[in-house]
């Protein structure tokens, strides 16, 4: 079963920041938080991941709480092309032979003009 909880849907105005929350209260010490998104009829696209520290790349920022029980994906200036289903996944990143991603239902983000 997925180890994360996300709201089923969110709206965001174009040009504004989209903040997508995720709860992962049972996360283990060697599990990373990964975010993927899936635009309609395409394969999931990797966005960002982190272990403890906040991370930023050209697509997004990831804020992880100090207790690691929740995180927020931030799209700083959402565009219409960011409309997609966003998946938050916890996954063993080191110290184990696991690593298959377990997807939940994600958050459907609708960016509106």
Partner 1 sequence: DTGVSQDPRHKITKRGQNVTFRCDPISEHNRLYWYRQTLGQGPEFLTYFQNEAQLEKSRLLSDRFSAERPKGSFSTLEIQRTEQGDSAMYLCASSLVTGIAGTEYIMNTEAFFGQGTRLTVV
Instruction: Provide the binding-site residues for partner 1, judged by CB under 8 A.
Output: 2, 34, 36, 41-46, 49, 85, 87, 91-97, 99-106
Q: How far is the CB of 18 from partner 1 (least distance, A)?
A: 19
Nearer to partner 1, 17 or 101 (CB): 101
Q: Exposure pattern of 3-40 as b/e (b: 16+ CB <10 Å)?
A: bbebeeebebeeeeebebebbbeebeeebbbbbbbbee
The answer to whether the CB of 104 falls within 8 A of the CB of 22 is no
Q: How far is the CB of 28 from partner 1 (least distance, A)?
A: 13
Nearer to partner 1, 15 or 95 (CB): 95
């Amino acid at each position: 079963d997925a180890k994360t909880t996300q709201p089923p849907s969110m709206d965001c105005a174009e040009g504004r920041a989209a903040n997508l929350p995720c709860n992962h209260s049972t996360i283990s010490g060697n599990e990373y938080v990964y975010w993927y998104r899936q635009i309609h009829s395409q394969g999931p696209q990797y966005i960002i991941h982190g272990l403890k520290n906040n991370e930023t790349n050209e697509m997004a920022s990831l804020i992880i709480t100090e207790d690691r029980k929740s995180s927020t994906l931030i799209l700083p200036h959402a565009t219409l092309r960011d409309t997609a289903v966003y998946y938050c996944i916890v996954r063993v990143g080191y110290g184990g032979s696991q690593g298959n991603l377990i997807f939940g239902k994600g958050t459907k983000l609708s960016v509106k003009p």
